[in-house]
Amino acid sequence: PDMEAGTTALQRQSQLTKPVGALGRLEELAVWLATWQGRGRPSMERPRVAVFAGNHGITAHGISAYPAGVTEQMVQNFINGGGAVNQLAGGLGADLRVYEMALDQPTGDFTQGPAMNEEDCALAISYGMMSVEEGFDVMAMGEMGIGNTTSAAALCCALFGGEPQAWVGHGTGVDEAGLARKAEVVAAGLEANKAALGDPFEVLRCLGGLELAAIAGAILACRMGRIPVVLDGFACTAAAAVLHAADARALDHCVVGHLSREPGHARLLEALGKTALLNLDMRLGEASGATLAIQLLQSAADCHNGMATFEEAGVSGPVSE
Amino acid sequence: PDMEAGTTALQRQSQLTKPVGALGRLEELAVWLATWQGRGRPSMERPRVAVFAGNHGITAHGISAYPAGVTEQMVQNFINGGGAVNQLAGGLGADLRVYEMALDQPTGDFTQGPAMNEEDCALAISYGMMSVEEGFDVMAMGEMGIGNTTSAAALCCALFGGEPQAWVGHGTGVDEAGLARKAEVVAAGLEANKAALGDPFEVLRCLGGLELAAIAGAILACRMGRIPVVLDGFACTAAAAVLHAADARALDHCVVGHLSREPGHARLLEALGKTALLNLDMRLGEASGATLAIQLLQSAADCHNGMATFEEAGVSGPVSE
């Protein structure tokens, strides 16, 4: 992070024609963007949206309302421009990329042992890292993977503790019996992968998924490339939490786009010390909430860069000054 | 409202490639837009932002952190393109209009009697009504007026009861002594205009302001023209509350763009039964929060209109079906 650029941005904020702080989080976002982009006037003209898709062996346990084949069908829908994220990315002129993580090779059933072997997990992380190119002002991160809210719940349970019931939710819409199965699968996953506990990257390998490993890699690469990141909902943030568990500063370049209705997300954000930008009862994934939040970052940058100062506009300051 | 268009929109929502409800409030917004615009596929291409500006006699009591002259200076800043609302409206291609309500003739000091006589108040309401033209898909409403959070607090106190202290806040940034003066001015205003209590439009005339009366008129005209409205923060919503007090259905065509940090706003929204779309600690007024929220409405319409259905995309439905 470039603290000098951040200070420059903060000084400018105090001169713009508004009471200091009156734009609330838009002011914080502008300074945060400046700090990570390393320039006093941040740019938000070139946003990218990245959606990583993967399949999960645990879907055999009936933990999703949709069949596993929907992952691939939805990827095709994104390619054809029919998903929610296509409309949202299109509305803000963002470059949308969809990355398929060997959809015909789901991860292993983690109730029986690790979801991935070392090589597959490392490859997925580096695939995510390599997806990050130069030339983008911000990256919205998301996922598509039938079964991955169960994998996310297992990651959270392993990283932060608590009962499996506290981390599972209805996902795409399972009933109460499905919810109970999700908790059982999480419990069985932790039991079958006890040796991983305490090592965040082992937790990712044993209980995560290919798309979640790729997201972790992409977030890490953005950090090194000083690209601000907008995280999406529960599954995406759970992937990010692996990095946080390894290094508490690892997500300083990330904001959380929205608070998912999936109940584990609020608990997870509390553990990460983050407050989501939007709270619109969304629970779709596919980077939809993160992409929606990019608009707020663009607005923050527009106000920061375009507003007149008190001096330029000839507007009087507070009477007490 | 056109319930048939609303039903058409609701049916379409259930066919789009996402679990039903997964886009949360974006789905509700799309159906609400359809209902008020009278078409199954709402349009959000032509948004307008209206900012009404007026001056207040009560500023003589030291109830604002800024001198009264700032109202006119900020109007000039809007005309020159330097305000926050200019950047926000520009970012979404909205038509921004600023309406000056006789800035050289502030309202009367309502601690001594009515803020406006009948003619001035009626003229301000009709001026607001006449500002609403055809050809717009949505209207974001806002205000500029040094002293108007005190006027708004007086309106709320008169319409909904409670202690003046419960409705006043720091506004543009008054200190604790200023906050106490605001509460005193509100109490004195209610005392000096006792006869108005119980009649919402009399409350508006006696304790409101020219820009607040114009906003009430514009909201009413939008209702008759079936133009969906996005309300801004505390002062704007207080003007809208006058209509709600006269007819509990009068604001069905309105959503609240953001929750202001001004504490009276949360209380007011509770009284109106509305939940704000955004909560970003903003407290600037000038339609900034409402304009920011228009992006969400555009996103809601984009998803509604552009997404593929399950059938079109060849995506499988839930396994239980």
The average confidence (pLDDT) of chain A is 97
Q: How confident is the model at residue A320 (pLDDT cuts 50, 70, 90)?
A: low
B142 pLDDT higher than 70:
yes
CB–CB contact A90 B312 (8 Å): no
End-to-end CA distance of chain B: 34
B146 touches chain A (CB under 8 A): no
Contacts of B251 (CB under 8 A, 6+ apart): B219, B231, B240, B243, B244, B272, B274
Q: What CA–CA distances, in Å, run from B46 to A100, B95, B216, B228?
A: 37, 8, 22, 12
* Nearest Cβ partner for A313 among B23, B80, B320: B80
Does the beta carbon of B58 lie under 8 angstroms from any beta carbon of chain A?
no
pLDDT at A29: 98
Task: Tell me the pLDDT tens digit for each residue of A183-207.
Answer: 999 999 999 999 999 999 999 999 9
Cα distances from A139 to residues A253, A254, A294, B185, in angstroms, run 11, 9, 9, 49
The arithmetic mean of pLDDT across residues A108-130, rounded, is 98
Write out the two tokens for B254: 């309105």
Measured between CA atoms, the residue of chain B closest to residue A13 is B84
Which one of B202, B286, B311, B321 is the catalytic residue?
Answer: B286
User: Between residues B314 and A172, which one has the greater pLDDT?
Assistant: B314
- Model pLDDT, residue A319: 82
Question: In chain B, which among 175-194 make CB contacts under 8 A with chain A?
Answer: 175
Rounded CA-CA distance B178/A212 in Å is 52
Is pLDDT of B216 > 90? yes
- Tell me the chain B residues in contact with residue A299 when contact means C-beta distances shorter than 8 Å: 87-88, 91, 292, 295
Q: Is B318's CB within 8 Å of A173's CB? A: yes
Q: In this predicted model, what pLDDT tens digit does every residue of A70-100 receive, in sequence order?
A: 999 999 999 999 999 999 999 999 999 999 9
Q: Is A248 exposed, middle or buried (0-12, 13-18, 19+ CB in 10 A)?
A: exposed
Query: Half-sphere exposure (CA, 13 Å, Cβ side) for A147?
Result: 31
Report pLDDT digits (tens) over A255-293. 999 999 999 999 999 999 999 999 999 999 999 999 999
Fold of B44-300: Rossmann fold (3.40.50)
Residues 26-45 of B with CB under 8 A from A: 26
**What fold characterizes domain A46-298?**
Rossmann fold (3.40.50)
Q: Mean pLDDT, to the nearest integer, of B298-312?
A: 98
Give A51→chain B minimum CA distance, Å. Answer: 16
Closest partner residue to B66 (CB to CB) among A73, A295, A316 is A316
CB A230 within 8 A of CB A290: yes
Distance CA A212, CA A209 (A): 5
Size of interface A-B (CB pairs under 8 A): 198
In percent, the amount of chain B with pLDDT more than 90 equals 97
- Locate the chain A residue with the closest alpha carbon to B84: A303
* Mean pLDDT across B152-177: 96
DSSP string, A196-224: GTT-HHHHHHHH--HHHHHHHHHHHHHHH
Check: CB of residue A229 under 8 Å from CB of residue A254: yes
* C-alpha span between A268 and B129 (Å, rounded): 48
- Which DSSP string do the residues of A9-41 spell out, in sequence order? HHHHHHHBSS-TTTTTHHHHHHHHHHHHHTSSS
Strand blocks (E) in chain B:
47-53, 95-100, 138-144, 229-231, 254-256
Q: For residue A138, how many C-alpha atoms fall within 13 Å in the half-sphere facing its CB?
A: 33
Q: How confident is the model at residue B321 (pLDDT cuts 50, 70, 90)?
A: very low
Whether A303 has a pLDDT exceeding 60, the answer reads: yes
Phi, psi dihedrals of residue A96, rounded to the nearest 5°: -100, 125
Contact A284 B175 (CB under 8 A): no
- Taking 70 as the threshold, does the pLDDT of residue B320 lie above it? no
Burial label, B95 (beta-carbon count in 10 A; 0-12, 13-18, 19+)? middle
Report H helices in B146-209.
148-160, 176-192, 200-207
Q: Where are the domains positioned within chain B?
A: 44-300
Mean pLDDT of A106-117: 98
∠ Cα A2 A5 A6 (to 5°): 85
Average of per-residue pLDDT across B31-42: 98
The answer to whether the Cβ–Cβ distance between B299 and A299 falls below 8 Å is: no
Task: Provide the token pair at B216.
Answer: 């009430």
pLDDT of residue A230: 98
pLDDT of B64: 95
Q: Can you give the pLDDT at residue A321?
A: 41
Q: Which two tokens stand for residue A220?
A: 């890490």
- For A199, other C-beta atoms within 10 Å of its C-beta total 14
pLDDT (mean) for B282-286: 97
B158 neighbors B197 (Cβ within 8 angstroms): yes
pLDDT at A27: 98
Q: How confident is the model at residue A46 (pLDDT cuts 50, 70, 90)?
A: very high
One DSSP character per residue, A220-283 reads: HHHHHTT--EEE-SHHHHHHHHHHHHH-TTTTTTEEE-B--SSHHHHHHHHHHT---SB-S---
Supply the residues of A annotated as catalytic.
286
What's the mean pLDDT in B164-184? 95
pLDDT digits (tens, 9 = 90+) for B67-113: 999 999 999 999 999 999 999 999 999 999 999 999 999 999 999 99
d(CA A47, CA A295): 10
Phi, psi of A304 (to 5 degrees): -60, -45
Reduce the DSSP state of residue A188 to 3 states and report it.
helix
Measured over the CA atoms of residue B51, residue B271, residue B260 and residue B291, the dihedral's sign is negative
pLDDT of residue A229: 98
Residue in chain A lying closest to B85 (CA)? A303
